[in-house]
Structures are given as C-alpha cells and as structure tokens.
Amino acid sequence: MEKIYGESDFNSVKKQKKVYKIAYFSVLGFYLATSVGLWVFYFLQPYQSPDIWWIKLIMFVWAGVFVIFSFVYLGIPYKRVKNYSKLMKGVETGTSNGTVGEFDRYGNELEVRDGLEFTTLYFLEYNTKKQDFFERKVWMDTEKQPPSFEKGEHIKIYTHGNILVGFERL
C-alpha cells in the first residue's frame, strides 16, 4: 500500500501549529506589556493634564490594531493550520476504510472543506444492493502530489472519511 501521509507530515504539522501559537502569544505578551505601560503612564499624569487625550488615543488605536490582528491571524493562517492538524490527527489515530474502485477521472474544481483545499478524484464503485455502479468522490489534499491513475484502472483506495490516505494498484 502506498501511503499519502507519512510520519514527517504529522510532525511538521504539530511543529507548525506550535510555532503559530508561540508567535501569537508573543504578540499578545507584547500587547499586554505595552498596554500596562500606557495605563501606568496614564495614571501617573496629573489631574486634568492636557496630555491625557493623546494617551487615550494611543491606547484605543493600539487596542484596535491588536483586535484586528487577532481576527486576521486567528481567522486565516492559524485556523487553517488548526484544521490541517485536526485532519492529520484523525488520519493518524482514526480508522481508514478500504474499497475497490475503478478510476474514472480527476476533478477540475477545488473543493474547500473545513478551510482546507482538496482536489477531487472520481471512482466507480459497485453497489451490491442496487446491483449497479455509482460514482464516488474521493478528496486529495492539494499540498500532496496526486497519484497518476489511468482511466479504468482498478485501485483499492483507503480513505478516512472521504479523504484519500492510501491506495493499492490491482
């Protein structure tokens, strides 16, 4: 069986997630330290000082910049790494189902599931209850090179959910 994901994939995703967390908490620490510094400076000002307005302005702008950074950082790159990490954990510890199918074609469109992009592979599988073939979509991670299958080739595919994790050529 040829596996799509190896041990290095699992380790690199864990490491990448850890780096993203460290980066975010470093920025959070810097934000908190400067905010505390600004608050201390604000409270050390004399009553009704003319400098209070610009200290308040800096504090409001600084808070806004941090909130915008948090939404963008946690909403785009970290969320993608988190979802990919969840996928890798499921592939590593979960079960994979093996079925035999006849390769039909590669899909032209990219599908986005849980914030991750997948290319589509179509297989024809036989349904014993209906006594007929049906088309099955199998997703392949876009970060991995899709295997070169020929139309009509019989392949045993191993999937976790609908995500291709391994295959055997028959």
pLDDT tens-digit readout, 68-78: 999 999 888 89
pLDDT over 90 at 102, yes or no: no
Report the chain's mean pLDDT, rounded to a whole number. Answer: 89
| C-alpha–C-alpha distance, residues 22 and 28, integer Å | 10
Distance set, CA 28 to CA 20, 25, 51, 69, 111 (Å) = 12, 5, 27, 10, 34
3-state SS, residue 95: coil
Q: Answer whether 0.85 is exceeded by the pTM.
A: no
132-170 pLDDT, tens digit per residue, is 888 889 999 888 888 888 888 899 989 888 888 888 888
pLDDT surpassing 90 at residue 31: yes
